[in-house]
Amino acid sequence: MATTGDENSRGINGALMKKKDPRQPVVNTILVENIEDYIQKIESAGGKIVVAKMPVPNVGYLAYFMDPDNNIHGIWEEDTSAK
């Protein structure tokens, strides 16, 4: 885990993991308030969802998209009721 501030402040927090493939890129994930709204915004702007919304139980929802320049990004919605 990587933490850049205290628990009460937003920061650039996250986690690092081992690559599963040598070609695996670094992927930045963006915190959003409503993942469904952002999926629609991404697709309307020419992006493509490459990994559909998935729950992370008791933590939130995650999806990955490719932007028009073929870069992969993640979007994340915090939701402790995710199952």
Task: Give a yes or no: residue 12 inside a domain.
Answer: no
Q: How far from 81 is each of 11, 15, 55, CA to CA, in Å?
A: 23, 21, 10
Residue numbers of the domain that contains 54: 29-78
Domains contained in the chain, number: 1
Give the predicted TM-score (pTM) of the model.
Answer: 0.79
Q: Is 42 helix (H, G, I), strand (E, B) or coil?
A: helix
Angle at 70 between CA 82 and CA 4, to 5 degrees: 50
CATH number of the structural domain spanning residue 68: 3.10.180.10
Is residue 33 in a domain?
yes
Residue 14 in domain:
no
Give, for all 83 residues of the chain, the pLDDT tens digit.
677 777 787 777 777 778 888 888 888 899 999 999 999 999 999 999 999 999 999 999 999 999 999 999 999 999 999 99
Residue 83 located in a structural domain: no
Residue with tokens 């629609």: 40
Is residue 22 situated within a structural domain?
no
Residue 53 lies in a domain: yes
Helix (H) or strand (E) holding 30: strand 29-31
